[in-house]
Chains A and B, each alone.
Chain A
Amino acid sequence: MPKNSEIKKIMVIGSGPIVIGQAAEFDYAGTQACQALREEGYQVVLVNPNPATIMTDAKIADAVYMEPLDTESAERIIYRERPDAILGTLGGQIGLNLTVALAKEGILDKYGVKVIGTDMDAIDKASDRERFKELMARLGEPVAPSEEVSTVEQALAAAQDIGYPVVVRPFYTLGGTGGGFAKDPEELRDIAESGLSVSPVHRCLVERSLTGWKEIEYEVMRDQRDNAIVVCAMENVDPVGIHTGDSVVVAPLQTLTDRENQLLRDVSLRIIRALGICGGCNVQLALNPQSFEYCVIEVNPRVSRSSALASKATGYPIARISAKLAVGLNLDEIVNPVTGSTSADFEAAIDYVVTKFPRFPFDKFEDADRRLGTQMKATGETMALGRTLEESLNKAIRSLENKCDSLEDASLANLSIGQLLARMDEKDDRRLWVIAELFRRGYDETAVHERTGIDMFFLDAIENIVRMESELKNNPEDIQLLSKAKRMGFADSQIARLTHHSFDQVRHLERENGIVPAFKMVDTCAGEFTSLTPYFYATACGRNEIEPARGKKVLVIGSGPIRIGQGVEFDFATVHCVSALKELGYTAICINNNPETVSTDFTVADRLYFEPLDLESVLNVIEFEKPLGVVVQFGGQTAINLARALVERGIKILGTDMDGIDDAEDRARFEALMERMGMPRPEGDTAFTPEEAIAIAHRIGYPVIVRPSYVLGGRAMQVVRNDEQLRQYATTAVREITHDSPILIDQYIQGREVEIDAISDGQDVLIPGIMSQVERAGIHSGDSISIYPPLGLSKAVTDRIVEYATAIGRSMRIVGLFNIQFDVSHEGEVYILEVNPRSSRTVPFLSKVTDIPMCEIATRCMMGESLKDQGLTPGLAPVTPGWISVKCPVFSFSKLRSVDTTLSPEMKSTGESFGADETFAKALRKALMGMGVKVPFTGNVLFTVADEDKDEMLPIAQGFYNMGYGIYATPGTADFLRENGINVFYSSKVGDPKNQGYPDCLELLRSSKVTFVINTQPFQDRRASLDGFLIRRVAWENGVFCMTCLDTASALLEVLRDKSFIVRPLGERREA
């Protein structure tokens, strides 16, 4: 069918802020979709309140709205734009939900907006548990049978129907506690009893256990003509039981015969046809490893994380093609963009092994429960291509940037076999390392297979790797062995460690013996057709098939997997740098390993190398391509950390040179420079022992901020108030931090934090804007609400900031982007906290709100064009008055049980949402809506505040009280408020036995009596008091917005005041 010509304008819904389970893959999908639709001549209106993404760049759509994804905002946009159609299947679950809501509320009908792509009914059929079960029953497709029960007898009866073994899942418990497996009625009786007792609603799900079954995914596409294809089939290394997002996944299928593969392929196609999906769809299946028995696990009727992975794994751009199918084109009418000659109606053939490895945030959240299960916990992922499973797996691990280049983990060496087995049974994120360690101790592979359900085929690969480790150790000079190790993807750094060579010696040895990587193309067709795709990977197995690129070449280093502290913002910067280089006539070569992002779309750079971002892989590309220089300032800390090693090997870094990078990154040099320049800094020093730390703290005076040196995103940083806390921190932190890494102790400035991103050409400095933060110093800037233009900065302070920034840019010889964090004390003193000689988290936000293409300007500076040459005026760019933009952090706490939600110097947010309007209050309200915070104008607020914060809390409580909110407080706080004239309801502390009849505060949260919680905790050791922790967690689990910083509460109060009327009888003069 030709494309729909009745439609002119299409509204595309994005996925909003990045949270665990809904991340950068939707930036990639959305960006592709918008481009595909415009390619077909449609106008595109985009809604997505995520400022960090490429998708919300002004040039991606004809109109970009960074507005909340609720029906009210969407209707306003529809009213203004009058789109003919809406496409909601590219924005994840959020996009689907909004589309469904707009349809249900009649808004689409009212404005005559047609839903394109998969229709609403199909989405509903796939998403609604009951309807899905019905459909599967009609198709005769088995699903894991399950029944809801509320008594032990019902559970026994259900299990009788379903068949043992069964899993018992209690409803609404934290982290699935209280559930478990039962092999027979006897076990079930116990488990059902405990499960029912821990479930607050006294209900459990009894489900057929598929544990140990293979988990297989099919990425399927269908067009309106009913042509349907499987783009990619993928096999999870982890059997059913671990969320596929947290599983190690390989493609193509490795342990399935064709008979098994075709059986499941047929099922997937039957399902996509029965649902009537138009576009991409993900079908997850469980296959019994001992028979042809299978079950349908779930179906996602839209593009997903898996489809992004499948796109990068095969080269087949699922989202791009899905968008074209949505406007009526059929698969055979679309050209396969990879070959450029064949049709999109075909199934990709892979001639390499793909491994996807999840990246977890547990380095940030030490208290988090690391066990993996049905709730996804990974923030990002890496992908690697190789020609053996070992090579692919090792490369994926090397891409994680977990300070780990292999399956070796020294911290496991001290555990006994028993401890290792116990750890393995926990199925946590380190399970493969634990298994490797067990193999190192000679533990039996079959026994590991029986305990984990991981197929012997995959365990063999781990055992091969472990065996090679010991062979290398025993034969450090064996060249044949070296060559074999490289074919298994061993990192040069690991080989160096095992053979007691230096990294450079290993590389030298390899080159002397002709052991060099070959580069191969990803072409969707296993070489059957000529392709011109500039998408490559390196392998030690086989022959090189490409020539170096032509032209003036620049290598841009990407930012790797998404993790807390290094999110999609850095992909944004990478993509912009690449585009700017292309525009300037350079051949832009990008290296990155994140399958979710836009930068690894092979249409972005002139050449894409899908490779680990370790020194070895980057050097390999450099040695092959011989670029004129390397760009490290857009790929976050990942790229910056590579700079020194590259420079040492004579490679040119474009932009700020190594000396400048060191001035900012090396603490001693940074301090010396600041001193020389007369720049005020919080007083601070470096301590190598706890005793030194205490002496320094006494000299500076408490409170102090402590952190390990060289950290990313404020990891392990903390505000400390006394000796005891400091001693505790110093002992645990020093032990925890890697070797020869001291801790840093700084004066804590009580004031506000201000941040700038700036561009220097080495002489002049352009400051596109200053951002102020709502939360006080001591809370990580990434977790603070940012405001542009800044609120409450005097002209003197602004001038000082500009003066400092300009001086720093010049004296560090910055060429390109840099970021400075300031503290402004209550007295108006400006202190410099840190300088980052690179693109930062706020660059996309600032670029968008100031309309200054910062990455492009910085790239031009790097390539030798001065700011003045570019027609830009140095100094602070003028602010357009009357418009305020706000960026709010977005957290994924509901996915990370047992993580404390208190804001601290350590970053915890995974994404950000945006709001802009005429006033700060309106803008913040939008951003809060984008965060998913409901802002009702009546309700109750629960206060549980530390003694030291009570005075500061009072006006906030009064503010809520005057607007008519009910105030609940725990006894201490309540007494204080009552003394100050607030008619407060008492709430008992958590589980207080002498609660005097007051409602329990957790009960208040659970029963939705409370709308907001304001909770601060006394300064103390990191492990929060259990009470506060429970209040915060229970609030979060129940969708109650819990503020842990009084500044956030004040800001919220402003939002509410802006919209609330205050009722007051005549004659009363109560203070508002």
Chain B
Amino acid sequence: MKRNLLLEDGSLFVGEAIGSERADVLTEVVFNTAMTGYQEIITDPSYKGQAVAFTNPLIGNYGINARDSESLGIHLDGVIVSSCCPRPSNWRSYIGLSDWLRASGIPGIEGVDTRALALLIRTKGTMRGLIIDGEIDVDSQLARLRAYRYPTDQIARVSTPRVYSIPSDGPRIALLDMGCKLSIIECLTKRGFALTVYPYDTPASTILAAHPEGLFISNGPGDPASIPQVSANIAQLIEAGLPTMGVCMGQQLLALSQGARTYKLKFGHRGANQPVRDLATGRIDITSQNHNFAVDEQSLAGTGLEVTHINLNDGSVEGIRLRGKRAFAVQFHPEAAAGPHDESYLFGRFLDMVCGKEGWENA
């Protein structure tokens, strides 16, 4: 079945439908350059409100398995591929990509030159897009597309609706769920943490009342500036002395909570090959990333925050910490999935920090 991808600049890609039987979805179109890990990417709640295009032309080769999803459902708006493998091959696969998307009602389109799309986005920046079936009247659809405004409630829609706990004998921490990837929870529980997961807008007092030993702020979709109340809560939690680690959205919220600013990148960082320099050691690691927004380095002045990591490609802020306090955050994904494990040691650093170990900064 014919399916179209129309972009706000008027570019039209005509392809074939995969996934859901019908499509008519307004969204934001982004691209990811990772060569493996489409299942993790598609289930990453941070893509809420977006359709992701894979630059790797062959997607779906190894199917979908029962373990590698990053959330309980699929939150993104659409999947754009060059070709979708009809007969996956991998020992863990139980269903093909297209069938899996269809079961979740997620539209996909194949037969799109995703490299051409990536070059377009690189040049013009992230764009609004429409995935729609059949013959279309481009002009009227374009008008509709241009009238579309990005939602601001993505986090609300992917965060946990109620508090839940993952018990353990280790340090008890509060996890502020902005749309947390399961790998983060896995990385934390593997380190022995006992987790209490809170909805994103839980008041600081509620969290503090449970006497947690630390705070983790997860990844999540959308614009961090759209939820000022959350950064205010975080400011209180940090003020209360909770050792804090943030990832991705978590870094942006930490920055906002201390009075710094964030801005939208032209087309974001999405892939599994982003080099990041640790300014303390000079060491470079390859990281997994997925973000539209970044922390404005200039705005850190006077906030008590300092830059700990930078992106080697564009110099953007990849890590910050609060001077003299036990709080740090990174823009990239140390939990990987999809992507390299180079920075997974940061969860150990968080553990040391929560436990009050000397020299946790270097762990």
Contacts and interface: CB of A to CB of B under 8 A. Distances in A.
A872 interface: no
Contacts of B273: 346-349, 525
Contacts of A225: 282-283
Contact of A257 (B33, B36, B122, B271): B36
Given A253-B35, A351-B114, A541-B113, A526 B62 contact: no
Contacts of A543: 113, 116
A259 B115 CA distance: 25
Nearest to A349: B33
5 contacts: A349-B33, A349-B273, A460-B89, A530-B122, A545-B115
A353 B87 contact: no
Nearest to B82: A387
Nearest to B38: A258
A527 B271 contact: no
Interface string B71-107: 0000000000011010111111000000000000000
Contact of B55 (A527, A529, A545): A527
A352 B113 contact: no
Contact of A332 (B31, B87, B92, B284): B284
B337 A545 contact: no
A25 B40 CA distance: 37
Interface of B: 31, 33-37, 39-40, 55-58, 61-62, 65, 67-68, 82-83, 85, 87-92, 113-116, 118-119, 122, 271-275, 277, 282-284, 286, 312-313, 336-341
Nearest to A253: B36
B284 A331 contact: yes
Contacts of B341: 262, 265-266
Given A349-B33, A353-B58, A265 B91 contact: no
Contacts of B82: 387, 541-542
Contacts of B89: 255, 455-457, 460
Contacts of B37: 257-258, 261
A133 B272 CA distance: 32
Given A227-B284, A351-B33, A541-B113, A343 B61 contact: no
B90 A257 contact: yes
A351 B36 contact: no
Interface string A178-222: 000000000000000000000000000000000000000000000
Given A226-B283, A252-B36, A456-B89, A526 B55 contact: yes
Contacts of A265: 340-341
Given A257-B37, A265-B341, 8 more contacts: A255-B62, A258-B34, A262-B36, A331-B284, A342-B312, A351-B57, A527-B119, A545-B119
A460 B86 CA distance: 10
Interface in A226-277: 226-227, 229-230, 252-259, 261-262, 265-266
B271 A258 contact: no
Contacts of B337: 258
Contacts, number: 156
Nearest to B123: A530
Given A527-B118, A541-B82, A457 B56 contact: no
Pick the most buried of A256, A261, A342, A460: most chain B CB atoms within 10 A of its CB. Answer: A261
Given A255-B89, A345-B312, A528 B36 contact: no
A173 interface: no
A880 interface: no
A529 B313 contact: yes
A480 interface: no
B312 A526 contact: no
A520 interface: yes
Contacts of B57: 351-353, 387-388, 541
A455 B61 CA distance: 11
A7 interface: no
Contacts of A52: none
B232 to A, nearest CB: 35
Contacts of B271: 349, 526, 528
The 8 lowest CB-CB distance pairs between A and B, nearest first, are A258-B37, A542-B113, A526-B33, A527-B118, A526-B55, A347-B273, A349-B33, A457-B89
A545 B116 contact: yes
A771 B67 CA distance: 69
Nearest to A544: B116
B85 A457 contact: yes
Pick the most buried of A252, A351, A518, A530: most chain B CB atoms within 10 A of its CB. Answer: A351
Interface string A1018-1040: 00000000000000000000000
A259 B55 CA distance: 19
Contacts of A291: 91
B90 A255 contact: yes
B116 A257 contact: no
A350 B113 contact: no
Nearest to B112: A542
B91 A542 contact: no
Nearest to B37: A258
Contacts of B65: 257
A290 interface: yes
Contacts of B33: 349, 351, 525-528
B60 to A, nearest CB: 10
Contacts of A254: 58, 61
A261 B338 CA distance: 10
A289 interface: yes
Interface in A321-358: 331-332, 342-343, 345-353
